[in-house]
Amino acid sequence: MGHFDRGVQGLVVLAAVLLGAGRHPSASADETEGSLTSSRETREARAASRPPARTAAPRLRLVWIDVLDSAPYAFEGAARETSAILADAGVVAAWTLGDSSTVTAADELKVVLMAGVANGARLPEHVMGGTRGGGQSHTTWIYLSNVLWALGLKEEPTRRLSLQEEEQVARALGRVVAHEVVHAVVPDLVHSHGGLMAEKLGRAFLVQARAFLGPAEQKALRAGAERYAAAGEPARAPLTLAVAGH
């Protein structure tokens, strides 16, 4: 696997095209935990038609935390891919490159890249990402080793990845991140039978030219992102004044 010391700290804000509109109501669900398992099955991408432009787009603040610096080459490409998928849904992604000591704000979503799945974690085999359910979540975990496995890049762990493979990993990570961002922001959305929100994503989907959310998922993500940003605003506690007088 290729390791390069070019993980530069700093703020990277990716400009995004403001697009989006959905026609279907969001799916309701009973799922409490969203996890994304990799698979080598071939899955067809669902082609989503480009939605018409709109003026106001909610903004999601995402913080990339590569705990062990296991894929410093991947941040830019992964962030670009996630941002493109979110932009197609009419959501603007604003990325920060952080590290394990980064303290995040209330309206930020931490994207934590783990080298592998920790022993003892009750996670499905080959899980590529996981987000706690039950409500909007501010942390999501991405498991690099299983993304590499899904891409077929794990057979020779000592071999350094080519630049092309690094780009492939970055783009695949960006898709897994987008999938998990949807879970974090829209906790009640169910998995779809195909496409980006399928429970399993195989190599064919991870390497194909483009990935989209479905129209109903895009609409749900926009609505969720609006709530997500609002939740980070300082709460206005009711002001009670005790006025002395007689």
Nearer to Zn ion by Cβ, of 36 and 185: the residue is 36
In angstroms, what is the minimal distance from the CB of 31 to Zn ion?
8
In angstroms, what is the minimal distance from the CB of 156 to Zn ion?
29
Nearer to Zn ion by Cβ, of 29 and 115: the residue is 29
Nearer to Zn ion by Cβ, of 97 and 176: the residue is 176
Residues forming contacts to Zn ion in the complex (CB under 5 A) are: 34, 36
In angstroms, what is the minimal distance from the CB of 180 to Zn ion?
7
Name the residue among 162, 19, 158 with its Cα closest to residue 85. Answer: 19
Q: Which residues pair with 33 in a beta bridge?
A: 132
CA dihedral 95, 141, 185, 36 (to 10 degrees): 120
What number of other Cβ atoms are within 10 A of residue 194's Cβ?
14
In angstroms, what is the minimal distance from the CB of 198 to Zn ion?
8
Contacts of residues 204-207 at CB distance under 8 Å and 24 or more positions apart, as own/partner, are: 204/42, 204/43, 204/44, 205/43, 205/45, 205/175, 206/147, 206/150, 206/151, 206/168, 206/171, 206/172, 206/175, 206/176, 207/151, 207/168, 207/171, 207/172
In angstroms, what is the minimal distance from the CB of 166 to Zn ion?
25
In angstroms, what is the minimal distance from the CB of 34 to Zn ion?
4
Nearer to Zn ion by Cβ, of 34 and 58: the residue is 34
Tokens linked to 56:
């106001």
Cβ density class 83-94: b for 16+ within 10 Å, e for less = bbbbbbbbbbbb
Tokens linked to 177:
């991140």
Nearer to Zn ion by Cβ, of 20 and 130: the residue is 130
Nearer to Zn ion by Cβ, of 73 and 212: the residue is 212
